[in-house]
C-alpha cells in the first residue's frame, strides 16, 4: 500500500465500471448465469380495472409441454399482510388494469408466454374511475406526504393578501401521468436454497427490499440474500419492492427451481409505478417592485386503491421564496389505477414546474425581468422553518447562468423574434432539491500489500456512484484509487441506504470515511485487519436548511406552420455542494436536464377513461427525448462545499438537474409564441388550439 497525498475527490476520473459495461462483461440481474437450469415466469394481467375474478381456467396453459406451474390467487402461497398493498395473487379482487392474475412458470420464456396467453379469466368488472379533476367531491387530505412532509402549510391570511395585492396571477397547471423507463427492464432471478431466498435483482439498494420481502415470505433477514451489482437505470421505479419480485419468490418456492422473471416494456407501464398526474393552482401576489406578498400553491393528484402514495408536490414552494402570507395544500383522488411511485425528484419536478411557470407569468404581469424577479425575492433564511441555510447559492446560479446563456438585453416581448418560419424565444427557471443524509455503514478489510476491500451495500444505478465512492475511499485511506477494491450491491454487505432522494454520496461517503478513520494510526498486522464505520444524520437537519439550487435557461424554437418545438440550447448552473467527479457529475446534470426537456415536450401516459388502462404503454407511443431532440447543453456549477451538512461537503446531484428545466422550456415557448401552454407536454397540436 502506497501512501499518497493526491486527492481523488474532485479530480476528473473516468467511470471505473465503464469498460466492463461497454464490453458487455458487466452482468445485470437477468443475466445472472445459472448453468442453463433456470426456468421462466410469464405474467397474465387483468384486462379489467375494477371488480372480481369470477372464473379462472388454467387447464390449457397447464397442458402446454414445458409448463411447470400456473400460479393464481387460488393456489399461490399465502404471503404476509404486506402483500395486500402490493396486490400479488392473494385474492380475487381486481384493482387496476394490468394487475397480475396468474403467473406461468415454464422451461423456456417462449413456452411461459405462450401458456400465459392460454389462461382464460372471467371478471365481474365495474366501470373504472381514473379521471383526476379538481371538482371531484371525494378529494381528501392524506395524513402526511411522502418523506414525512406535512400535507398542508399556512402562514398569514393568504386570501386577504391575495385580494390586496396590487399585481397578481391566478393560474392552473397540469402535469400528466409519466412513467420511468430505465433502459434495463426490471428483472429478478430467484431461488430457494433450503429456507434461504436468494435473489439477483435490479434495484436501487438491496437493503431497501429486505423489509417487505422478509415480511411477505415470513423469513428473517438472515434468510434473504439479494445481489444487485449493475443496474441499468432506475429513476425511482426500482427503489421499492414491486409485485414481480414477490411472484418470482413464490414461483421459485412452488417449483423448487431457479426462476427468471423480466418485465416486458409494456408491463413496466403497470407494475412498477408511475409519476402521479397533478393539477396545480398557483396564486401569487406582489407589490409593483416585484416583492411577493402572497403565495398559494394548491395541488390535486392521484393515488391508487391498493396503496396510498401522496407526492410532496408543493413542498419546494414552502422554501423557495418568501412572502408574509403563504399556503400549500395537497389533495388526493383515490382512483382505480396502479400505485404511483417516485420518479426523479418526485414532488419537486411537477411542483417547481408550476411555481417557476407562475413566476414567469408574474414577471410578465409586473413588467420585470424574470431573472430580476427571482433575485428580488431571495430569502436570507428558510422562510418556512426560520433557520439559516447551510448554503444557498441560487443568486450565483442565476447570475452565472444569465452570463453564460447571454440573457442580458433580452427583449421581454413575446412572439416578436423569427428566424425564417421559426418563432424564437428564451426562458429561465430556478431549481431546488433537498439535501439529506441517511444512516449507512461500511467495512474495510486491510491486508498488507493488497488493495483495501471496501464493502457497503450501496447501489450504482448508472450514476457513477461506484467511481465516486472509490475516489472517496482512496482519499480517506490516502492511497491511489487502484488500491481500492469496492464491493457494493449485496444485502450481505454492511447496511446502507438506498440510491434515492439524491442521498447516495452524502450517506455512503461519510460511512466509508468513518471506517477509514478506524484504520488511521493503526498498524495493520500481517494477517490483516477488518474495521467497520457508521455515519448518519446529526443535528444539522434541525439547525440548518440544506438544499441544492440551480438555474435553467433555454432557447425554444417553434415552427409556426407545424407547431414543432425544438430546443437548440439549454444552460444549467448548479450549486450542489462539492462535486466529487466532474465527468459523472456532469452526466447527472445532463441526464436530469434531458429528462426535463422530455417532460416539457414529450412524456405523457394517456389513461383510457373508459377502460382505465395506460393506452400508450411502449416506447413507440410513449415518447422520450432522444439524442436528436437535445441540442447544445451547457452545464456548470458553483464552487461550493456544504461543510455544515456532511464531512464531504456534497449535496447530491441525481435529481436537481430535472427540477425546473421543464419550466424554463415552457417559459421560452411562451416567449417564442406568445401562447402559454399550461398542460404538459407541449406537443405541436397545442400551438393551434
Ligand atoms: Mo429517486 S425518484 O429518489 O429514485
Closest approach atom of ligand 1 to CA 344:
2
Using pLDDT thresholds of 50, 70 and 90, give the confidence band for residue 528. very high
Residue 94 has pLDDT above 50, yes or no: yes
Give the residue from 272, 247, 268 showing the smallest Cα distance to 197.
247
Using pLDDT thresholds of 50, 70 and 90, give the confidence band for residue 79. very high
**How far is ligand 1, taken at its centre, from the CA of residue 294, in Å?**
31
Residue 3 has pLDDT above 80, yes or no: no
pLDDT at 141 (0 to 100): 98
**How far is ligand 1, taken at its centre, from the CA of residue 204, in Å?**
9
Task: Please list the residues that pair with 106 across neighbouring strands.
Answer: 40, 67
Ligand 1 pocket residue status of 652, Cβ below 6 Å:
no
Question: What residues contact 280, with CB distance under 8 A and at least 6 apart?
Answer: 172, 173, 174, 175, 297, 298, 299, 300, 313, 314, 350, 351, 354
In terms of pTM, does the model score above 0.95?
Answer: yes
Pairing, β 278-286 against β 100-106: unpaired
Candidate of 233, 239, 276 to mutate for ligand 1, largest count of ligand atoms within 8 Å of Cβ: 239
- Give the Cα separation of 205 and 249 in Å (integer): 18
Residue 514 has pLDDT above 90, yes or no: yes
SS (H, E, C) 11-72: CCCCCCCHHHHHCCCCCEHHHCCCCCCCEEEEEEECCCCCEEEEEEECHHHHCCCCEEEEEE
Q: Mean pLDDT, the chain, as a whole number?
A: 97
Ligand 1 pocket residue status of 236, Cβ below 6 Å:
yes
Using pLDDT thresholds of 50, 70 and 90, give the confidence band for residue 582. very high
Tens digits of residue pLDDT in 178-232: 999 999 999 999 999 999 999 999 999 999 999 999 999 999 999 999 999 899 9
Using pLDDT thresholds of 50, 70 and 90, give the confidence band for residue 274. very high
Ligand 1 pocket residue status of 272, Cβ below 6 Å:
no
pLDDT at 298 (0 to 100): 98
For the chain, what percent of residues have pLDDT higher than 90?
97
Closest approach atom of ligand 1 to CA 237:
4
Closest approach atom of ligand 1 to CA 236:
4
Task: Please list the residues that pair with 453 across neighbouring strands.
Answer: 445, 485
- Give the Cα separation of 339 and 362 in Å (integer): 35
CB 146 within 8 A of CB 310: yes
Average pLDDT on 267-291 reads 98
**How far is ligand 1, taken at its centre, from the CA of residue 343, in Å?**
6
CB 229 within 8 A of CB 199: no
Question: What residues contact 246, with CB distance under 8 A and at least 6 apart?
Answer: 79, 83, 86, 88, 213, 216
Secondary structure (3-state) at 190: strand
pLDDT at 296 (0 to 100): 98
Residue 1 has pLDDT above 90, yes or no: no
Residue 252 has pLDDT above 60, yes or no: yes
pLDDT at 6 (0 to 100): 64
Tens digits of residue pLDDT in 545-578: 999 999 999 999 999 999 999 999 999 999 999 9
Closest approach atom of ligand 1 to CA 342:
2
DSSP symbol at 389: B
Ligand 1 pocket residue status of 346, Cβ below 6 Å:
yes
Phi/psi for 53 (5° steps) reads: -80, 125
Ligand 1 pocket residue status of 344, Cβ below 6 Å:
yes
Q: Catalytic residues, which ones?
A: 655
Which of 22-31, 32-41, 395-404 shows the lowest mean pLDDT across its residues? 32-41
Ligand 1 pocket residue status of 501, Cβ below 6 Å:
yes
Residue 379 has pLDDT above 80, yes or no: yes
Give the residue from 554, 575, 542 showing the smallest Cα distance to 665.
554
Average pLDDT on 507-521 reads 96
- Give the Cα separation of 420 and 639 in Å (integer): 40
Which grid coordinates belong to 511?
460511512
**Cell 388502462, residue?**
613
Q: How many CA atoms lie within 13 A of 20 on its CB side?
A: 12
Amino acid at each position: 500500500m502506497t501512501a499518497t497525498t493526491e486527492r481523488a475527490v474532485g479530480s476528473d476520473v473516468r467511470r471505473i465500471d465503464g469498460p466492463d459495461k461497454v464490453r458487455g462483461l458487466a452482468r445485470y440481474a437477468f443475466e445472472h448465469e445459472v448453468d442453463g437450469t433456470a426456468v421462466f415466469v410469464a405474467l397474465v394481467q387483468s384486462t379489467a380495472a375494477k371488480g372480481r375474478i369470477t372464473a379462472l381456467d388454467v387447464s390449457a396453459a397447464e397442458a402446454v409441454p414445458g409448463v411447470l406451474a400456473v400460479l393464481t390467487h387460488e393456489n399461490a402461497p399465502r404471503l404476509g399482510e404486506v402483500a395486500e398493498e402490493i396486490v400479488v395473487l392473494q385474492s380475487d379482487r381486481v384493482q387496476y388494469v394490468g394487475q397480475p392474475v396468474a403467473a406461468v412458470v415454464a422451461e423456456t420464456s417462449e413456452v411461459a408466454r405462450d401458456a400465459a396467453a392460454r389462461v382464460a379469466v372471467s371478471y365481474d368488472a365495474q366501470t373504472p374511475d381514473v379521471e383526476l379533476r379538481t371538482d371531484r367531491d371525494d378529494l381528501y387530505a392524506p395524513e402526511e406526504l411522502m418523506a414525512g412532509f406535512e400535507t398542508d402549510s399556512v402562514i398569514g391570511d393568504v386570501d386577504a393578501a391575495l385580494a390586496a395585492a396590487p399585481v397578481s396571477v391566478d393560474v392552473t397547471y397540469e402535469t400528466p401521468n409519466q412513467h420511468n423507463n430505465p433502459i434495463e427492464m426490471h428483472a429478478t432471478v430467484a431461488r430457494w436454497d433450503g429456507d434461504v431466498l436468494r435473489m439477483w435483482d435490479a434495484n436501487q439498494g438491496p437493503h431497501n427490499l429486505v423489509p417487505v420481502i422478509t415480511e411477505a415470505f415470513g423469513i428473517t433477514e438472515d434468510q434473504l440474500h439479494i445481489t444487485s451489482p449493475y443496474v441499468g437505470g432506475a429513476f425511482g421505479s426500482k427503489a421499492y419492492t414491486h409485485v414481480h419480485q414477490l411472484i418470482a419468490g413464490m414461483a421459485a418456492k412452488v417449483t423448487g427451481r431457479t426462476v427468471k422473471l423480466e418485465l416486458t416494456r409494456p408491463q413496466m407501464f403497470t407494475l412498477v409505478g408511475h409519476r402521479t398526474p397533478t393539477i396545480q393552482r398557483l396564486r401569487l401576489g406582489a407589490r409593483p417592485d416585484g416583492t411577493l406578498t402572497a403565495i398559494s400553491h394548491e395541488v390535486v393528484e392521484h393515488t391508487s386503491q391498493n396503496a396510498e402514495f401522496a407526492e410532496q408536490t408543493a413542498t419546494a414552494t414552502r422554501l423557495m421564496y418568501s412572502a408574509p402570507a403563504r399556503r400549500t395544500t395537497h389533495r388526493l383522488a383515490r382512483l382505480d389505477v396502479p400505485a404511483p411511485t417516485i420518479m426523479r425528484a418526485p414532488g419537486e419536478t411537477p411542483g417547481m414546474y408550476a411555481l417557476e411557470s407562475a413566476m414567469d407569468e408574474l414577471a410578465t404581469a409586473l413588467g420585470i425581468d424574470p431573472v430580476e424577479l427571482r433575485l428580488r425575492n431571495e430569502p436570507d433564511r428558510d422562510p418556512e422553518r426560520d433557520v439559516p441555510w447551510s448554503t444557498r447559492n441560487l443568486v450565483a446560479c442565476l447570475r452565472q447562468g444569465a452570463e453564460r446563456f447571454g440573457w442580458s438585453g433580452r427583449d421581454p416581448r413575446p412572439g416578436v423574434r423569427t428566424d425564417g418560419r421559426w418563432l424564437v424565444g428564451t426562458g429561465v427557471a430556478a431549481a431546488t432539491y433537498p439535501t439529506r443524509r441517511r444512516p449507512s455503514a461500511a467495512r474495510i478489510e486491510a491486508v498488507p500489500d493488497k488493495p483495501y476491500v471496501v464493502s457497503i451495500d450501496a447501489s450504482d444505478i448508472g450514476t457513477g456512484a461506484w467511481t465516486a465512492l472509490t475516489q472517496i475511499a482512496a482519499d480517506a485511506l490516502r492511497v491511489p484509487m487502484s488500491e481500492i477494491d469496492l464491493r457494493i450491491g449485496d444485502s450481505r454487505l454492511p447496511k446502507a441506504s438506498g440510491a434515492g432522494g439524491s442521498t447516495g454520496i452524502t450517506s455512503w461517503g461519510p460511512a466509508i470515511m468513518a471506517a477509514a478513520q478506524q484504520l488511521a494510526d493503526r498498524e495493520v498486522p500481517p494477517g490483516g485487519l477488518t474495521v467497520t464505520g457508521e455515519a448518519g444524520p446529526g443535528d444539522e437537519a434541525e439547525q440548518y436548511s440544506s438544499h441544492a439550487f440551480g438555474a435553467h435557461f433555454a432557447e425554444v424554437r417553434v415552427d409556426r406552420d407545424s407547431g414543432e418545438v425544438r430546443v437548440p440550447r439549454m444552460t444549467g448552473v448548479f450549486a450542489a455542494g462539492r462535486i466529487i467527479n466532474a465527468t459523472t457529475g456532469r452526466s447527472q446534470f445532463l441526464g436530469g436536464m434531458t429528462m426535463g426537456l422530455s417532460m416539457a415536450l414529450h412524456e405523457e401516459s394517456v389513461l383510457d377513461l373508459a377502460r382505465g388502462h395506460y393506452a400508450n404503454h411502449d416506447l413507440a407511443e410513449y415518447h422520450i427525448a432522444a439524442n436528436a431532440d437535445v441540442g447544445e447543453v451547457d452545464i456548470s456549477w458553483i464552487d461550493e462545499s456544504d461543510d455544515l451538512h456532511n464531512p464531504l461537503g456534497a449535496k447530491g446531484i441525481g435529481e436537481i438537474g430535472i427540477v425546473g428545466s421543464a419550466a424554463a422550456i415552457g417559459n421560452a415557448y411562451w416567449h417564442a409564441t406568445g401562447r402559454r401552454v399550461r398542460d404538459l407536454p407541449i406537443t405541436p397540436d397545442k400551438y393551434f388550439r
